[in-house]
Structure 1
Amino acid sequence: MTLRMKRRLIMLIALAVTLCAAHGAPLSHAQSNKPFSLPFNTPPSPSTWLLSQQFGNTIGAFNYGRYWYAAGQNLHFGLDFWAPCGTPVVAIADGIVDQIDNLSFGLEPHNLTIFHRDLGYTSVYGHLNTKPSLLRGQPVRRGDVVGTVGDPDRTCQSRPHLHLEIRSRDYRIAYNPMLLIEAEWETLASIGYHHFGGFVKDLYRPNRWQSAYDQPDVDFNERPLNSFRLTYPPPARNAPPPLTLPNFNAPPFGEGYATMRRLARPGCCALPFWAPDSSAVYYYDGEEGTLATRYAVSVLTERDPQPIGIAPHRYYSPDGLWEIVQVDGRTRVVNRGTGEWREVATGGAYPQFSPNSTRLLWHRHPDDNIPGGIPPLTEVWVANVDGTGRTLLGTQQGGAVYWLDEGRLLAVEPIGRTQTFKLALWDIATRQKTPLTEVKNLRGVQVAPGGAIILFYAPFQDDPSRSGLYGMLTKAGAQPVLLPFFSSYRWRDSKTILYLRYGANANPILSTNGGQMLIASYDVTTGEGRILTDPAQPFRIANDDWHVSPDGRHVVFWNADDSALWLISLP
């Protein structure tokens, strides 16, 4: 059997086992037939390492592939793991050192490749902090330390991470490591770089390359694969700020556990979104080569999904009376009751509605905000909900802005080329900013309905015991409070969080012990909480793709076991 045949056989077995495991208990490394292990000798946590970007058609590759991945068809041709500089990196299988610091790969400041003769693959370790103290031809064993994590910008403050690839022997083809490395990928994908994680949806091929396991091999001699005409989400440069809902308290939970049912056919459809009144889940589906159809499936009855329009994507106001759509690159705000619309000059950016649907907010980037680069001077604009009263509120160096309430914004701005961000309260009437706090390694900011509280990840702090998930009041003088769990989370209402618990023991801290998930609640004002889904019926969410209904009564998620949309109706 040739090496090429052996390689393809390994990948076919790995894919088959992955699909089979999706319908049963997770498999051990010995059972899985995946020949490689993870590149760290410690478990993932907010003080060790986290997965930050998958392989293939990622959101990060769509936005920045022409800068970083042009040699690899503009796709992300490896896995990225976020970790502090100096974190030990280990060999993912037995092999022989092939190349050290071959900068034709890029992957500065240092890199290493290991040939795995028995498997027919080569592993590539990029952005190492120092030159590996190994020799070409030297044998290494699985788990041997072969380097340490570094920063491609050579500062250890900008974007330290490990870039890991699995390539063919001649280096011409990069394969999907998720098919070859034994790991609980759904758990790992639930926390990471929110700007890079997940996959972009080509609205002319809405179901292609949406799973972590169906990504194409990357051929370094072929053309780009992600030159899409129309996508969801839109390019980062034009994307709207996140939606903040108005202040509200959802109904108290009842007795017992949540119920679950499937909403769409297997294989359909990633990236669903809610109708403003919570009565239906919307998603895109359709044949390859034709513009995707937008479907609605009721959560109140068990009717078949109904077509309600076609792409491009529309953003709805919280009260359901308005929508934003772009036609021929021009932004329109549409009154959904009358059909009347007005064009708003946004420079191609999508606005976001305020919590009470009275205003619009958008940021206008003069250039792509490339991580690791100098953030562009970003304009922040507001207008009335009908598009009148367009006003430049101010500028900041990159970053993001979020609605808090009708009169205040949360401004998040990086400090130079570092991963430390300053947060400020921005008063629209006075245009004044009031400093709130500074956070190292800030990720995943989410604003509670009504804007009184924010949550955010802050991993890899100087004091490891302070690494985790934080809550904070949005008022001057408030201090961040470390929460007792580290997990994927969503706001249910103005004071309650829904979050994932992991594994057979329902661990509230990111855990790869079992691969299964449950949903629990946590009241940030009292500290009380409970498990909401039946421990006897765990599930696995693909790509951290889960969404709470605006009324806080339901959750929709993309199921990793059958690649279908499922509804959870909370008790």
Structure 2
Amino acid sequence: MKLAFIALLLGTSAVAATLPSRTVLSGECCPGTVWTPDSKALLFLDGPPARASTGFYEVAATGGEVTRRFSSIAYFSPKLRWAVRPGSGEATVLERLADGKRFTLPTFGADVTWNDAEDGLAYTRSDTSGNYDRRATRVYVADAFGSPRNVATLYGGGVSGWVDDTTLLLSGKSAPGNRDRELFTLNTRSGAKKTLRTALGFRGISLSPDGARVLYTISFDSAARNGLWLQSTAGSTPTEINDYGAYRWRDAGRFLLMPLKTDGDAHVLRQYTVSLNGWNTLGDLGDQVRQGDWNVSPDGKLLNFLSAKDGNVWVLTLP
């Protein structure tokens, strides 16, 4: 127990071993797989010649038979309650799958960002010309079956997610001539704004499942600002995470990171526990992930990845 605890605090790779995994999809058919809300299956878009018709297909996390889940092509909300179907013009149709009830929004083909309850959403409309850093982006919110309203205008940025059902996390510049962007929260009812950080730019902005924390990367800025950072969305001082790579939240208090590999070796999976402010190494994949294509199941128990070796989709049970 004592050695295990020391390894947790120090993040040593001495305990790393290859994590057992299993192939659930083969034939290089299925990049971009996502988990179903119950964590029991993976969804993916496919069609001829592998499948009889184009649609969204499903396979169990344990592998086995592939079945068609949705016959139409759409953006589906994270909890699979809504289908978002852009039209050829400005109108996008949003359909509640439980009863087929529909309403439209003028998103000009853009997808929408749902709050956790999926009774409200946000989307952006941006100018279509000019330098991105100076291009105005207007942020709209709407309740389900309601009319949109403009809650913010920013430059060179957009929506990063919902902190809670009434508060957005946004990034961008408040004026086109500004050097720095802001990472900030905005209450869509009261208009209250809280700036979390300013920097030349933010990448990989990722909210924890409960919205209480955010991970982000700053690069091409000063040495004091560059790096991977963890911060409370309530506005506390950010904590620098002394590692670099691709990251995903496992649950509200832990995130996983695959450090950048340049030597061709297998990707290693590390876990950061917020309450301990420390790392432990879970193991390696025995493979590399192709093009950053990996995800953690909503219950935090499973991980899927697209293999760089064979192009198949693999699933492993997280320690």
Q: TM-score range by the shorter chain?
A: 0.7 to 0.9
Aligned to 1:341: 102
Give me the whole-angstrom Cα distance separating, in 2, the residues matched to 1:538 and 1:363: 41
Aligned to 2:270: 520
Conserved in 2, the CA contact under 8 Å of 1:355 and 1:450? no
Q: Measure how far apart 1:270 and its partner are.
A: 1.1
Aligned to 1:566: 314
Residues 555/417 of structure 1: CA separation in 2 closer, same or farther (3 Å cut): farther
Q: Measure how far apart 1:349 and its partner are.
A: 2.4
Q: Measure how far apart 1:471 and its partner are.
A: 0.7
Q: Partner letter of residue 496 of structure 1?
A: R
Provide TM-score, normalisation by structure 1: 0.49
Indicate yes or no: 2:26 matched with 1:265. Answer: yes
Aligned to 2:45: 284
Conserved in 1, the CA contact under 8 Å of 2:86 and 2:110? no
Residues 280/391 of structure 1: CA separation in 2 closer, same or farther (3 Å cut): same
Task: Please say which structure displays the higher CA radius of gyration.
Answer: 1
1:390-444: CA deviation from partner (whole Å, max 9, x where unpaired): 3221322230122111121112004647874211221111123222220234211
Indicate yes or no: 2:284 matched with 1:551. Answer: no
Task: Tell which has more relative contact order, 1 or 2 (C-alpha 8 A, sep 6+).
Answer: 2
Q: Measure how far apart 1:492 and its partner are.
A: 1.1
Indicate yes or no: 2:166 matched with 1:407. Answer: yes
Give me the whole-angstrom Cα distance separating, in 2, the residues matched to 1:397 and 1:462: 21
Q: Measure how far apart 1:291 and its partner are.
A: 6.8
Give me the whole-angstrom Cα distance separating, in 2, the residues matched to 1:308 and 1:407: 31
Q: 2:228 aligns with which of 459, 466, 469?
A: 469
Residues 282/417 of structure 1: CA separation in 2 closer, same or farther (3 Å cut): farther
Give me the whole-angstrom Cα distance separating, in 1, the residues matched to 2:37 and 2:126: 28
Q: Measure how far apart 1:562 and its partner are.
A: 0.3
Q: Measure how far apart 1:520 and its partner are.
A: 2.0
Q: Secondary structure at the match of 2:134?
A: coil
Conserved in 2, the CA contact under 8 Å of 1:259 and 1:570? no
Q: Partner letter of residue 549 of structure 1?
A: S
Aligned to 1:138: none
Indicate yes or no: 2:242 matched with 1:484. Answer: yes
Please identify which structure carries the higher helix content. Answer: 1
Q: 2:63 aligns with which of 302, 306, 314?
A: 302
Conserved in 1, the CA contact under 8 Å of 2:261 and 2:267? no
Aligned to 1:21: none
Q: Measure how far apart 1:258 and its partner are.
A: 4.8
Q: Measure how far apart 1:379 and its partner are.
A: 1.5
Q: 1:314 aligns with which of 68, 75, 78?
A: 75
Q: Give the total of aligned pairs.
A: 299
Q: Partner letter of residue 532 of structure 1?
A: L
Q: Secondary structure at the match of 2:108?
A: coil
Residues 417/542 of structure 1: CA separation in 2 closer, same or farther (3 Å cut): farther
Q: 2:116 aligns with which of 355, 366, 375?
A: 355
**Structure 1 segment 209-220 matched on structure 2, within 5 A:** none
**Structure 1 segment 25-36 matched on structure 2, within 5 A:** none
Indicate yes or no: 2:135 matched with 1:376. Answer: yes
Give me the whole-angstrom Cα distance separating, in 2, the residues matched to 1:352 and 1:380: 11
Q: Secondary structure at the match of 1:399?
A: strand
Aligned to 1:539: 287
Give me the whole-angstrom Cα distance separating, in 1, the residues matched to 2:32 and 2:292: 10
Aligned to 1:457: 217
Give me the whole-angstrom Cα distance separating, in 1, the residues matched to 2:268 and 2:294: 12
Conserved in 1, the CA contact under 8 Å of 2:137 and 2:155? yes
Please identify which structure carries the higher strand content. Answer: 2
Give me the whole-angstrom Cα distance separating, in 1, the residues matched to 2:96 and 2:248: 29
Q: Secondary structure at the match of 2:189?
A: coil
Q: Secondary structure at the match of 2:164?
A: coil
Conserved in 2, the CA contact under 8 Å of 1:291 and 1:311? no
Indicate yes or no: 2:181 matched with 1:421. Answer: yes
Q: Partner letter of residue 151 of structure 2?
A: L
Conserved in 1, the CA contact under 8 Å of 2:23 and 2:63? no
Give me the whole-angstrom Cα distance separating, in 1, the residues matched to 2:74 and 2:103: 17
Give me the whole-angstrom Cα distance separating, in 2, the residues matched to 1:558 and 1:273: 11
Q: Partner letter of residue 115 of structure 2?
A: S
Indicate yes or no: 2:213 matched with 1:437. Answer: no
Give me the whole-angstrom Cα distance separating, in 1, the residues matched to 2:35 and 2:201: 30
Q: Measure how far apart 1:326 and its partner are.
A: 2.7
Conserved in 2, the CA contact under 8 Å of 1:519 and 1:531? yes
Give me the whole-angstrom Cα distance separating, in 2, the residues matched to 1:445 and 1:350: 18
Aligned to 2:256: 498
Q: Measure how far apart 1:559 and its partner are.
A: 0.6
Q: Measure how far apart 1:285 and its partner are.
A: 1.9
Q: Partner letter of residue 497 of structure 1?
A: F
Residues 467/483 of structure 1: CA separation in 2 closer, same or farther (3 Å cut): same
Give me the whole-angstrom Cα distance separating, in 2, the residues matched to 1:308 and 1:569: 24
Q: Measure how far apart 1:328 and its partner are.
A: 4.7
Give me the whole-angstrom Cα distance separating, in 2, the residues matched to 1:440 and 1:518: 30
Q: Measure how far apart 1:449 and its partner are.
A: 1.2
Conserved in 2, the CA contact under 8 Å of 1:317 and 1:323? no
Query: More displaced, 561-570 or 372-381?
Result: 372-381
Q: Partner letter of residue 296 of structure 1?
A: E
Q: Secondary structure at the match of 1:413?
A: strand
Give me the whole-angstrom Cα distance separating, in 2, the residues matched to 1:269 and 1:260: 17
Unpaired runs of at least 5, structure 1: 1-255, 502-509
Aligned to 1:101: none
Q: Measure how far apart 1:466 and its partner are.
A: 5.4
C-alpha RMSD of matched pairs (Å): 2.6
Residues 437/302 of structure 1: CA separation in 2 closer, same or farther (3 Å cut): closer
Q: Measure how far apart 1:257 and its partner are.
A: 7.6
Q: Secondary structure at the match of 1:387?
A: coil
Residues 327/475 of structure 1: CA separation in 2 closer, same or farther (3 Å cut): same
Q: Secondary structure at the match of 2:234?
A: coil
Q: Partner letter of residue 512 of structure 1?
A: T
1:267-297: CA deviation from partner (whole Å, max 9, x where unpaired): 2211112212222111122227x97332100
Query: More displaced, 418-427 or 405-414?
Result: 418-427
Q: Partner letter of residue 314 of structure 2?
A: W
Give me the whole-angstrom Cα distance separating, in 1, the residues matched to 2:306 and 2:177: 35
**Structure 1 segment 108-187 matched on structure 2, within 5 A:** none
Residues 391/291 of structure 1: CA separation in 2 closer, same or farther (3 Å cut): farther
Residues 263/466 of structure 1: CA separation in 2 closer, same or farther (3 Å cut): same
